[in-house]
A and B are shown apart, each in its own frame.
Chain A
Amino acid sequence: MTAMDDAERMRERQIRARNRALFAVLAALAVLLYAITLVRIGG
């Protein structure tokens, strides 16, 4: 059972890491689009 628990924990860790990365990418995209808008309006 320990091996299964470890595998499940590892799986959850990977899912959590992937969700965090996805959040970071979306946040970076929002910042990027904001910067593009500022430059285009300013230019």
Chain B
Amino acid sequence: MSQLSEAHLATPPTRAPVTALGDYVEILKPRVMSLVVFTGVVGLAVAPGHLHPVLAVVAVLCIAIGAGAAGAINMWYDRDIDAIMRRTAGRPLPAGRMMPGEALGFGVVLAGGAVLIMGLALNWAAAGLLALTIGFYVVVYTMWLKRRTPQNIVIGGAAGAFPPLIGWAAATGGIGWGAIALFAIIFFWTPPHFWALALYRADDYARAGVPMLPVVAGPRETKRQMLLYTLVLWPASLAPWALGIAGGFYAAAALVLSALFTGTAMRVWRDESERSARLMFRFSLLYLLLIFSALLVDRAGAALAPGAWR
């Protein structure tokens, strides 16, 4: 091999990495997006009124893209702490597979496009709520609260609770008490869900300087607050039944699921090992999936046999 080619190999030209398509998908946080889409679909489905199927698909698409855009901008802003944490070090930005400006541009274009299409195709109330959700997640949670207060995911959790409101607004042009009940379920579900994760990832958060509750107040206080939030979740989860947007099947499912969720929180309270926290984190995901599924089943049952389900 010639000297020239050896030198060429030793000092590769500094060209921007060509980002693989999979990395574009990864910065949209597809797992978070799937939960957002699901709760948005439920908001759309249980709202009074009828929406053309094509417009319903467009609404769901806009919610998904908006959520993905918020995730991309979050990854752009958090790339410094993502590089420190084990859980996030392999993401496209800290791993050097994507340029920061590329992620920011991608997120901003998607966010703008999703809001614009939502406004033009559905209505501007839904578009405004979508813009508010993206702005809340990026500015209030990511840039303001996340690195400053242990209440970051309590207040910031509102961003994750907005999607049923967006779905509801897409179908009706406004928001109603039913939509607020769905918002409340996700809002009170968020702290025990995230703190369960933070309990067994506390060292990671501490290293990155993120003041999650277990890092700042310790595991005991975190477990106490997790338990309290699961208790607050009982009335919140029964609100759709109390407001008349769901029937007896949903109420029974909500009671059973809330009891099980509180049960996992009590287990975390008693157990010093991280096993119970991992279990609670996994169950929290199942809780949200099942309680919103129960609402869908209840509504479908009410539509098929109105008398039998009430």
What residues make up the interface of A, taking CB atoms closer than 8 Å to B?
1, 3-4, 7, 11, 14-15, 17-18, 21, 32-33, 35-36, 38-40, 43
Contact = CB atoms under 8 A, between A and B. Distances in A.
27 contacts: A1-B1, A1-B5, A3-B9, A4-B8, A7-B12, A11-B15, A14-B18, A14-B19, A14-B20, A17-B21, A18-B18, A18-B19, A18-B21, A21-B24, A32-B58, A32-B61, A33-B117, A35-B58, A36-B54, A36-B55, A36-B58, A36-B117, A36-B120, A39-B52, A39-B54, A39-B55, A40-B121
A32 B8 CA distance: 48
Interface in B60-95: 61
Interface string B17-29: 0111100100000
Contacts of A3: 9
A3 to B, nearest CB: 7
The 6 A-B pairs with the shortest beta carbon distances in the complex, nearest first, are A14-B18, A36-B121, A39-B54, A39-B52, A35-B54, A11-B18
Contacts of A17: 20-21
Interface of B is mostly: helix
Contacts of A7: 12
A19 to B, nearest CB: 11
Nearest to B4: A1
Given A36-B120, A39-B52, 4 more contacts: A1-B5, A17-B20, A38-B54, A40-B121
Interface in B1-55: 1, 5, 8-9, 12, 15, 18-21, 24, 52, 54-55
Contacts of A43: 52
Interface in B118-143: 120-121
Contacts of A15: 18
